[in-house]
Amino acid sequence: MKTHDAASGTTATVQLQRIIGGHLAYHVLGAAARLDIADHLREGPLTASELSDLIGGDDPEIVDKFLRVAETIGLVRRTSSGQLAETELLALLRRDGGRYRSTVLALTAPGFNRPSEMMHRAVLSGRAHTAQVLGTDLWGYYGTNPEEAKWFGGAMTDLTNLVADLVLARYEFSGRGTIMDVGGSHGIFLSRILHAQPDAKGVLFDRMEVVEEARNHLDQDIRTRIQIVGGNFFEGVPEGGDLYILKSVLCDWDDQSCLQILSRIRNAAMPGASLLIVDWLYPDESDPGLDAIYLQQAISVNGRVRNQEQFESLLKATGFAVTRVERTTPENWIPATIIEAIRR
C-alpha cells in the first residue's frame, strides 16, 4: 500500500528520496566552490569539455556528469547552444565578492561534516563524539588543518560583519575606555566597534595561534589601538576592561565550561564592569531553524543554544546581574541577541 503525506501532497518514498539526494547536492555545491566553477564561467558560457580543461579534469565524462547534477540544483544553466552559463546562485561562490564562498567551503569540509557521522551516539550520550572521527576536538583539528581553518575563519568573518551591523545599531559603546573581546578570533567585531568609537581602546584575547593571525586582518589605524593577547580563557583573561565581550563563544561550550569562562571574566573585572554577550537566544516558542543549529552545536563541540532563563542562571551563578536582553533582528538564525550584565 502506498503511503501518502496529505500535508505535502507527495509520497513518503519521494520525500525520502529527496532527503537522500540532498546529501549529494550538498557536496556538489562544495565541489563547485573548490573547483572555482563560478570564476571560470564569470566571463561567459563554456562547454563541459572547455570547463574540464580549465579545472584540470582527467575524465571529461565525469566532469560532464558533475555539471549535469550541478544544473539540476540551479548552480549552472544550459544555453540554447548547449554551453553552460553562470547563475545568480553560482555567483555567490566567486573568489572575488562571492558572499557565501567561505561558508560553503567550511560547511562542506571534513572538519564540519564528519562529526555528523556520530550523531546517533551524540543523541544517546548527550556529548559530542568529534574526537572519534577527527582524532581531536574541532578546535584542535583546525589547528592542524590550516586550509580548513582559513575557510572556517572566512565564514565567521562574513557572519561577524552581519552581526556587527545589527549590534552597532542597537548598543551604545561610547564611554567604554577599554573594550576586551574575549575569544575574539581575528578581531573583526572589535575593530568594527573601534571604528565607530575613535576614543576607545581594545584588547583582543584568544588562543595565541588565532590572535597571531589577527594581525593580517586588522587595519593599520586600528592595529595601534588594539593590544593583542594570547591565552586560554579557561585559565584566565586580561584584567582592566571596562566592557568585556563574549560574541558567539558560550554557544560553543557546555554549561560547566561556560561557568568556568564567566568565572575567569568575573575574576578579571572590577565591580561595576559590564559584560556583553552576543549570541543566539532560543525563543519562548519552538524554532525549527534554531533546533537544527542546536543539534549541530551539540554534536560537533558540545555547544548549546540557550534561552533567556538559562543565560540568566549561568550569569547569576558566576556573580553577574543581567541588566538587558534584546533581540537585534527578528531572524533567529543570526546570533545577534544582546545580553548585558554587570559584574557584582
Write out pLDDT tens, residues 88-108: 999 999 999 889 999 999 999
Asked if 162 contacts 153 with a C-beta cutoff of 8 angstroms, the reply is no
DSSP codes joined into one string, 158-181: HHHHHHHHHHHTT---TT-SEEEE
Does the pLDDT at position 168 exceed 80? yes
Does the pLDDT at position 85 exceed 90? yes
For residues 47-69, give the mean pLDDT. Answer: 96
1 pLDDT band (50/70/90 cuts)? very low
Positive or negative CA dihedral for 291, 296, 302, 305? negative
Q: What is the pTM of this model?
A: 0.90
Pairwise CA distance, residues 277 & 281, whole Å: 11
Phi and psi, residue 135, nearest 5°: 85, -10
| Of 95-99, 293-297, 337-341, the least confident | 95-99
Write out pLDDT tens, residues 182-241: 999 999 999 999 999 999 999 999 998 888 888 888 888 899 999 999 999 999 999 999
Instruction: Give the pLDDT of residue 9.
Output: 53
Q: Which grid coordinates are listed for 289?
A: 531553524
Does the pLDDT at position 5 exceed 60? no
Does the pLDDT at position 323 exceed 50? yes
| Of 4-8, 62-66, 128-132, 190-194, the least confident | 4-8
Query: Would you tell me how many other CB atoms lie within 10 Å of the CB of residue 115?
Result: 25
For residues 297-324, give the mean pLDDT. Answer: 97
Write out pLDDT tens, residues 236-280: 999 999 999 999 999 999 999 999 999 999 999 999 999 999 999
Q: Which residue has the higher pLDDT, 4 or 189?
A: 189
Residues in CB range of 339: below 8 A, 6 or more apart: 276, 277, 278, 279, 281, 308, 311, 315, 322, 324, 325
Instruction: Give the pLDDT of residue 49.
Output: 96
The residue type of 99 is R
Alpha-helical regions (H) of the chain: 12-34, 37-41, 48-55, 60-72, 88-91, 101-107, 110-113, 119-125, 130-134, 138-144, 146-168, 188-196, 208-214, 220-223, 255-268, 288-301, 308-317
State the chain's mean pLDDT as an integer.
Answer: 94
State percent of the chain over pLDDT 70: 97
